[in-house]
Chain A
């Protein structure tokens, strides 16, 4: 697959290296001459100097035949413009943009960028997974439907321990679809399933109902 990477910083360099190792045809477009030389010395003829937001640079880069276009500069504006030019001028089927400010995620989606990657959000999700104070963990966003899959662990002191699911006031937009007990096999919950301490509950919900779901499952 021919993949163009805009931005030859640390992210772009390591990304290009990983994609090359996977056997893809890669081209990195980088503004800085020193960085371009560094990447060329390290990875071979896979880096050109230029502005990834300019049509002429992207034409020379053969964007018309690229199957994926990834913009990972440190500037959200550049990533957005580069991806938009690739998408609308060169009809690249898949565009991926790095987002530095998580607030820009919505606008990127609105403007047709296929995939956005926010390092801030990724770190936040890791914190949620690793740090026990965050009882609700995001597993997957289904953005076009406005839904998300979350995981919640029932602490031993939760008021819901010993209650059946039918007794809980779950928000109407939320559904529980898997319970992984502390010991034993995972099971699909029913209305009569009893909540146990240390149960891991996987649920689908909306971002707005997150707090209500947490409250319903923990009882506080």
Chain B
């Protein structure tokens, strides 16, 4: 286990360096932040711009800037925002919990919906509940998430005035964004649960479990589901990464004070440190989720545990 963790940690380090390097390089292709900062300040000379660049450290070669960023990263200092000078760490510290809360709420919605629906579809394969679930999930797959979000806002906030249309205040404000993300994910997950469940139900140990006289629900949810969970955990883990990417759009629509909104504004303002910080934190998140997934295998499948 220690060896395994050490190996994974090395891997994580490599991924982190690669991702931040690419991001830092790519963002510098978007243009000069000094020009952005100087906008609206009347007549600006080239010398003024040069002074701004010097103050922000942008006059140094790219590699030096990147190494400085790395040095900061390992001492826990992500630098300061070009806009207003707030420490990037503080900005992220405020936005991260909002994003994580929304991501977990979305995953929760999706898992809570897709497992019973997928199991139901598998058990009644070819009959009407299966057909209905499959058609509905296909419809769900075909929606773009921002469109669904806008429809929900129109219906629930504007027409019926039931839920707050934006922001993060109280549990009610979670319902629409989490439902939007959750429903879109559910559409794919139902199919995955159905397929793995069908596969598992063909196993002989399922017939053995039935031959013991166990009820259908025990056979399905105790004997079959745990065996399904190995491919499911892998997929849900990968999906969580994708979810963090997709959340940027949803956060914009619902004006959610999370990392997505932070990143979006940083791109618009060419705020290099903030963007680099957000991307770093997101990659760290994805790496740790994958690590958790690997550790989770051992809990559900004893065959993995030993090696």
Are chains A and B native binding partners rather than an unrelated pairing? no
